[in-house]
Structure 1
């Protein structure tokens, strides 16, 4: 029986943690990104790589918001999925969670080709916080996991190149202001899922572009790519060239052999076909290949150390097996951004499917064997031909809308009247978050808030800053203008805007908090502490209830205020802030850790140790963060307990 390729809706039920509210405070501090290298290493890189490592690295998360409101209590939750299926493969896509492919199931063999996470558990790995593991994710924007990791994308049916159905995902990436699309289809009787990707630059100037497709697979695999060298990057922040498959006497192509978490960016020769595979001991596994534009290939491993194993448990359920990631990107490494010229685009085609080949033996023999098998089941010419067949369909207008993303793209299209065939950002998708900016665009001024609440998101691109500078200078306008100026690196102007707004603003705490950050970054820690104290006092006076937005604002500002006060040893004021946090906030793991630090600063060492002994889980612990270990070292002489050990690098002796 012939099964025609279909797209259908489905609901997946998983134990899931709630995402909670976003952090309402604009992220003004420098980006906390672990993937950066020392200047000494950059001097030793190939010229083109060094240029791209230094090309417009991201300095700020603005205009994105930090997503840190999630916890670790999981309950059954229904998650909307879109399922593509032919007679060979079944792919489940989650449009409301970054468009991730959660499952790729090969029906003839009954095998899941990906690592399919049995839970939905956010963790602090995305550039803006919340991220989750498993499946195939689409990373656009800048070095790190995309700010869209848990965000909804637009989705619709489109006619595929072979006349069947294709699933289109699209959104507006806000860090670089770039629209992108991901087209997925399954040709009839195909063992391979085709994915066409396009990133556009509609601006009149070049922009930095970044893309990595991240594929989670079970870690009991051997990862194979056509390379004899790789660029190794560990959490010591060193980038160096190493041989493949082995160095220091260890074959690193087996993920469980590495002692610590690490990236291996394979150095693929220019003329070689682009592919990477992960094969189990029995020879079965997954291969990913692409047209040549998608140049880079990478292996990420957690390592066999206690910290890496703890992270594996943290992101899923203990006892369910770990995973590694095989990846494909526009550059050789994830530390680079490529130039996308003005009013241009970049596009490519990827293919994902099963592969059977021997993973064991001498490296050159294994690579040749996999490459020959890939050529037999999916010739390189077929991938190139599929790309050429897809390109005319990339502009096809979507049919039935299957999911709706954000309204930010619609706002930009409204501002510019850009024509973006194939990816409509309809005005009907504009929502409450975009409404003040739509009014600024149409009327030249921001509307006065209808009720007292934390201020909304700030748009910081130059064209929005220009509009804010010519708008009537209301306190709200000055607040947003200051944020945009700060983003541009114009700190002095930002401070002046915030100080002007203080004179007439009905709500002082957002402005005082911004000024406190400015003082902190300028090294004036005492004044920063003063302003944080005043800001928190004003927030506690103004907050109306224990609703999500006020609770999130109180938690976010309280955390920053306590840290600022402890930095200048004002423990009594820090305790006062702590006591005015909502009771439920004080019970969260992050704040239990803060409490332990506060108790230690007050000289109450035994009580601080008791917090550790009682146990806590910091839901938003940052990738690579070592705050728990550092505080433990001040409290105890014994080794850090395993359930607190998230260290991802060798410890200094």
Structure 2
């Protein structure tokens, strides 16, 4: 007898390092993602997609870099789907992440469920957690929403299987995305319906990649219906390689890879898009979808010391993983233009491939792929996917039966903005953005829209950093209606900087400081000057900003970094030595101290920094500053394993 499908809330206890408060310093001038270079021989359509506009920055989002490495047992809320065959556990507060997908017959988890929640610096807003399946929208990188709450609710399915619906506004692209997940009775696969709605009267560059972590074993092979792949390591280049073998060997066995690498499979356009990991028992995760989500990727950390260190850094309580991903484009270097006032949707299925390992692991690649393709079709055949997509689409506008969790208030504010300006908006019946979600971050902007004749920025304390930011000409028009003030002009300066109007940004930021001296305008003007090549003047403004707000640790880091870049390590040390103890104690500040000390000739001080078992919680993926400082200080002495994050 087939068990019914159920949905219930559950409390999990996980060791968790708190995320901390958002960094109050905006970044309207750049992305955290590293630049890349495409090989000239790559296909024209890939080159064209890579030329479609990347956002200038993630503004108006703020960085999430307030975490550490201290974890405490913490009760967290989860939503669980169960059909007696699979149990899927979601964390709406953590970007809607699928945390676990357990085969109830064997007890095996088809995805890698991290034993803890330990943020690290791999996302577009810095903080990211390894494990499960995450949903990435907007532009290349781990999404702005990956460690932010999504709205969540229950939707009654026509087949009696309840559905978990999650949704949120993407503020960079000004689109709404929706994820419906369910386990049909008797199904061997988790079903995930995704819809993106572009309500704007202009085309929008779009990007989506679903990113699944899978436990890494030496006997796990990754297969996809492809004979070619676009490979990248951590040197910024992208080139075409053969599948399954390239110059470095057979890369379909990720645990044996000598280095960290991405492989974007050139999936045959006429076939069903899928990717699967198959171990020596024949089991493993398969990801299959309807044709819109046609990209497939393998990422592995590699067997080098740096890659192994990253595995331990991201999973400090043990465990190694690789990633299987599915996206809208052939690679993650591309965007695709989404037409104005349209919706895109697709269906994804996650389940056990249940292959014959002798065939899947065989030397004949075509035979192995054909065999696994047949098993994937048994999990979810193309005709079944198309039919199920149509039924999911029919349910996509159904109102939720019960709310489960609240996301941000930015969707509610976006609705109010569009009402005030006459811009089109979505039908919120199926994805309500409740006014009750409006919080302190949205309050001044909501008042600016709804309280005619009042100035929500009057009386603002210039010693306190602004809580939040907005973007776009509609907000600029509203701000221009207010009388000049330090905070009004500061926001106008940040808005101009975000759209790369540097001269206008500079004028407004100077005006802000003239109204009331404040660190935020000085720091903002310094970043504008840096972009204009006036680094010496920018450094002076950053040191002034630090004097105005000495308790803000981000200003210390920026001032020291600018001083080092300008060849003034002595000034960097002066800034460090004058800062409060709380700012000086951070790992990032100590790293800059060691670098500055070495460059002033204070070798003993640099050695003391490195001898202190320096820990930098937000060390960036691909960053080599720790190992570089060690080599600059100690020459050819072996780099200690805990300082070696090199990925190639």
Q: Same fold (TM over 0.5)?
A: yes
Deviations 1:425-456 (A, max 9, x none): 12221111001111121236443255552112
CA distance in 1 between counterparts of 2:252 and 2:117 reads 28
Which residue, 191, 195, 198 being the options, matches 1:198?
195
CA distance in 2 between counterparts of 1:50 and 1:573 reads 44
CA distance in 2 between counterparts of 1:436 and 1:580 reads 35
**2:500 matches 1:498:** no
Partner of 1:33: 33
Work out whether residues 93 and 103 of structure 1, in 8 Å CA contact, stay in contact via their aligned partners in 2.
yes
CA distance in 2 between counterparts of 1:182 and 1:305 reads 37
Which residue, 374, 379, 389 being the options, matches 1:387?
389
Partner of 1:546: none
SS of equivalent to 1:263? strand
CA distance in 2 between counterparts of 1:292 and 1:28 reads 35
Partner of 2:6: 6
Equivalent residues in 2 for 1:86-105, closer than 5 Å: 86-105=83-102
Deviations 1:273-325 (A, max 9, x none): 1111111111111111000000100000111111111100000126x331000
SS of equivalent to 1:336? coil
SS of equivalent to 2:521? helix
CA distance in 2 between counterparts of 1:377 and 1:501 reads 61
Partner of 1:290: 289
CA distance in 2 between counterparts of 1:344 and 1:478 reads 36
Moved more, 585-594 or 8-17: 585-594
Moved more, 234-243 or 90-99: 234-243
CA distance in 2 between counterparts of 1:559 and 1:247 reads 42
Equivalent residues in 2 for 1:421-500, closer than 5 Å: 421-442=429-450, 443=452, 445-449=455-459, 451=461, 452-500=463-511
Partner of 2:406: 404
Partner of 2:44: 47
SS of equivalent to 1:15? strand
Moved more, 487-496 or 612-621: 612-621
Work out whether residues 5 and 160 of structure 2, in 8 Å CA contact, stay in contact via their aligned partners in 1.
no
Cα offset for 1:177?
1.3
SS of equivalent to 1:395? coil
Cα offset for 1:234?
1.4
Partner of 2:18: 18
**2:125 matches 1:131:** no
Deviations 1:186-224 (A, max 9, x none): 101211110000001000000011100000001222111
Work out whether residues 223 and 276 of structure 1, in 8 Å CA contact, stay in contact via their aligned partners in 2.
yes
Partner of 2:279: 280
- Closer/same/farther in 2, CA of residues 280 and 324 from structure 1, 3 Å limit: same
Which residue, 565, 568, 575 being the options, matches 2:566?
568
Work out whether residues 88 and 189 of structure 1, in 8 Å CA contact, stay in contact via their aligned partners in 2.
yes
Which residue, 524, 539, 559 being the options, matches 2:534?
524
CA distance in 1 between counterparts of 2:158 and 2:301 reads 39
Deviations 1:452-478 (A, max 9, x none): 521122211222122223332221111
Cα offset for 1:384?
1.2
Work out whether residues 446 and 477 of structure 1, in 8 Å CA contact, stay in contact via their aligned partners in 2.
no
Partner of 2:308: 309
SS of equivalent to 2:539? helix
Partner of 1:543: none
Which residue, 592, 599, 623 being the options, matches 1:625?
623
CA distance in 1 between counterparts of 2:426 and 2:327 reads 27
Deviations 1:412-435 (A, max 9, x none): 111114232411112221111001
Work out whether residues 225 and 267 of structure 2, in 8 Å CA contact, stay in contact via their aligned partners in 1.
yes
Partner of 2:422: none
SS of equivalent to 1:64? coil
Partner of 2:211: 214
Cα offset for 1:256?
1.4
SS of equivalent to 1:96? helix
SS of equivalent to 2:549? helix
CA distance in 2 between counterparts of 1:646 and 1:249 reads 21
Deviations 1:515-568 (A, max 9, x none): 11122222222211211111111113xxxxxxxxxx5xx110111011222333
Work out whether residues 409 and 438 of structure 2, in 8 Å CA contact, stay in contact via their aligned partners in 1.
yes
SS of equivalent to 2:647? coil
Partner of 2:322: 324
CA distance in 2 between counterparts of 1:404 and 1:515 reads 36
Work out whether residues 42 and 50 of structure 1, in 8 Å CA contact, stay in contact via their aligned partners in 2.
no
SS of equivalent to 1:364? helix
**How many pairs does the alignment contain?**
632
Cα offset for 1:161?
4.1
Work out whether residues 227 and 267 of structure 1, in 8 Å CA contact, stay in contact via their aligned partners in 2.
yes
Which residue, 74, 77, 89 being the options, matches 2:71?
74
Cα offset for 1:31?
1.6
SS of equivalent to 1:387? helix
Cα offset for 1:87?
1.2
**2:544 matches 1:537:** no
CA distance in 2 between counterparts of 1:161 and 1:310 reads 48
Coordinate RMSD, CA, aligned: 1.6
Partner of 2:426: 419
SS of equivalent to 1:397? coil
Equivalent residues in 2 for 1:593-632, closer than 5 Å: 593-632=591-630
CA distance in 2 between counterparts of 1:394 and 1:339 reads 23
Cα offset for 1:78?
1.3
Deviations 1:43-97 (A, max 9, x none): 4332221111110112212001011111111111111111111111101100101
SS of equivalent to 1:111? coil
- Closer/same/farther in 2, CA of residues 297 and 161 from structure 1, 3 Å limit: farther
CA distance in 2 between counterparts of 1:484 and 1:633 reads 41
Work out whether residues 160 and 390 of structure 1, in 8 Å CA contact, stay in contact via their aligned partners in 2.
no
Partner of 1:349: 347
CA distance in 1 between counterparts of 2:2 and 2:374 reads 29
**2:516 matches 1:514:** no
Partner of 1:547: none
CA distance in 2 between counterparts of 1:321 and 1:558 reads 36
Q: TM-score when scaled to structure 2?
A: 0.95
CA distance in 2 between counterparts of 1:599 and 1:249 reads 41
Equivalent residues in 2 for 1:180-199, closer than 5 Å: 180-199=177-196
CA distance in 2 between counterparts of 1:574 and 1:228 reads 52
Work out whether residues 28 and 517 of structure 1, in 8 Å CA contact, stay in contact via their aligned partners in 2.
no
Partner of 2:153: 156
Cα offset for 1:587?
2.3
